[in-house]
Amino acid sequence: MNKDKRYEIFKRLRAANPNPTTELEYNSDFELLIAVMLSAQATDVSVNKATRRLYPVANTPETILALGVDGLSDYIKTIGLYNSKAKNVVATCRILLEQHQGQVPRTREDLQALPGVGRKTANVVLNTAFGEPAMAVDTHIFRVSNRTGIAPGKTPLAVEKALLKHVPKEFLVDAHHWLILHGRYTCIARKPRCGSCIISDLCDYKDKQIDE
């Protein structure tokens, strides 16, 4: 795919959604970090349901640490892998208090040093909380990048690097959200909705469905 096509793709995505953001609900950098940690192998909908119960009771490192693993588990037990996530969240809260004055760190190195925080989670926080041009390549972004030809790659890291290289600079900060939303609602896994896709004429997908 050439750079002119990529530019037009992101220009259209921006026109359709000028201010994209995550569908996770949060009111602070800390709430975002915890929500993203809980969202691994879970839907944003399920995480939001849990945090709507949790955050009015505990939404700081101090208050979640006070709940403890068992107390936190009661609030997030509807989310997959909740036991291990509860342990990681509580351990993360302890580190934030001991090493970062209770604040969410702003570097990838410090974020990935937190229990349960991998590269993808760190990228979400860097991008969404701090406005860094980071690409958190989840299953949606991986699929859209490869299927459309925007940034093909055999691994999430390869796609991440290709996106950072090929997405025009003016779109870099928001590209992560546009691609996730496009993959979640239009360029879906089993049968992409090409007939209602605003970039269908620009993408490289060979088996487009036009009978919608």
93 three-state secondary structure: helix
Name the amino acid, one letter, at 88: N
Contact 209, 193 (CB under 8 A): yes
Nearest to 10 by CA among 209, 203, 205: 203
Q: Out of 120, 204, 206, 211, pick the active-site residue.
A: 120
Contact 209, 191 (CB under 8 A): yes
Q: Is 120 a catalytic residue?
A: yes
Does residue 167 come out as left (phi exceeding 0), alpha (psi in the -120 to 50 range) or beta?
beta
Q: Is 138 a catalytic residue?
A: yes
Q: Out of 5, 29, 77, 138, pick the active-site residue.
A: 138
So which residues are the catalytic ones? 120, 138
